[in-house]
Amino acid sequence: MMQGCRKGKDGQYSPAFIQNTGSRRGFTLIEVITVTVIIGILAVAAIPLAHNAFQREKEIDLRRALRTLRTAIDAYKKFVEENKIEVDEDTYGYPEKLELLITGIEYKDRKNKTRLVRFLRRIPLDPISGSSNWGLSSYQDKLGSRHWGGQNVWDVYCDSNKKALDGTYYRDW
């Protein structure tokens, strides 16, 4: 028996009497285009959200790196204030370079033993620029100056001219 055909009155199979199979399989072209357009619109809407999430993660890393560096500078200053180490008066008790926080300083403990203390294991990378070159300020520099005098390291900042998601400049953090 031929599938999809019926016998006519004359007993012959005729394609004019094709049976309806009940359900169609597959999608029409309009359905495929509609779904594609909807997926495209959703993808275009998701791109800025993904960019903002990536930028926000970099900003969190920047805040963490700045906090780490500033905490190490403060710990060095505290060591000086406790008279555990002697430094030049020109430095006002701040490290002369960031590298000094890594190489460490020698001091004598209560038992008069010489010890080495390090304040950082490494200088963290600036996540905005991707380098370990930070903007430095010395205690003698004018407030807000972007040129390091070189006498000591009083503060660090991101040396980028880019704006953060909140509209502030990274260098002002």
Q: Where are the domains of the chain?
A: 29-172
pLDDT the model gives residue 51: 86
Angle CA(92)–CA(171)–CA(70) in degrees, nearest 5?
A: 40
Question: Cβ of 157: how many Cβ atoms within 10 Å?
Answer: 19
pLDDT the model gives residue 54: 92
pLDDT the model gives residue 122: 94
Question: Cβ of 173: how many Cβ atoms within 10 Å?
Answer: 14
Longest dimension (CA), the chain: 121
C-alpha–C-alpha distance, residues 161 and 82, integer Å:
38
Q: How confident is the model at residue 15 (pLDDT cuts 50, 70, 90)?
A: low
pLDDT tens digits, 101-135: 999 888 888 888 888 999 999 999 999 988 889 99
pLDDT the model gives residue 124: 95
pLDDT tens digits, 43-91: 888 888 888 999 999 999 999 999 999 999 999 999 888 877 788 887 8
Beta-bridge mates of residue 156: 136
Average pLDDT value for residue range 4-29 = 63
pLDDT the model gives residue 48: 84
pLDDT at 42 over 70: yes
> How many helices (H) and strands (E) in the chain?
2, 6
pLDDT at 1 over 60: no
pLDDT tens digits, 81-90: 887 778 888 7
Residue written as token pair 């999430």:
53
